[in-house]
Homo-oligomer: A and B are copies of this chain.
């Protein structure tokens, strides 16, 4: 709970009272390794704060290959954004890579918060902005960096992902093949 409060306070000046009122509509959800938080083609009803654990988001691309969209870890929010905001079927799948604890809120309850607490409007807007900036950064990396640079960046930014995700998952996140990632790892280990 404290983690979530701190997370929100870093976004907007939510009062303790507002937080206490709000937190009561969140639900704690425990996922086991391999469990799904959102499945493809289902409408994503919830957005979640990750208290602990790791969620892998992926989709099936035009070539029918699984592509990792992102790895979400502790102290981050996770959802199938497009599906959640439009309440349409999700193209993304969200799956726990390890046992994971979430604080979730569903679409209707979030809209009640938006209505009752103006601060939540700010929080919602800022979160969307942050998601945009993250995606912009990711696109810039994909556009400008070599396979090796992208891998080293991931190691630096999410060092523990290596212990949690498979080589396959990481390769598709970086937009390269397993073979290329294997070569890079070999080269680095020297």
Contact = CB atoms under 8 A, between A and B. Distances in A.
Interface in A59-114: 59, 61-63, 65, 67, 69, 81-82, 85
Contact of A175 (B65, B124, B143): B143
A139 interface: yes
A61 B140 CA distance: 9
Interface stretch (A26-34, A36-44, A127-135): A127-135
A124 B124 CA distance: 12
Quick one: which of A59, A139, A144 has the most chain B CB within 10 A? A139
How many copies, total? 2
A138 interface: yes
Interface residues of A, number: 28
A47 to B, nearest CB: 14
B67 A144 contact: yes
B138 A81 contact: no
B144 A139 contact: no
Contact of A124 (B63, B125, B140, B144): B125
A132 B129 CA distance: 8
A22 interface: no
Contact of A128 (B121, B129, B138): B129
A128 B125 CA distance: 8
Nearest to A135: B135
Contacts of A63: 144
Interface string A135-148: 11011101110000
Interface of A: 59, 61-63, 65, 67, 69, 81-82, 85, 121, 124-125, 128-129, 131-133, 135-136, 138-140, 142-144, 172, 175
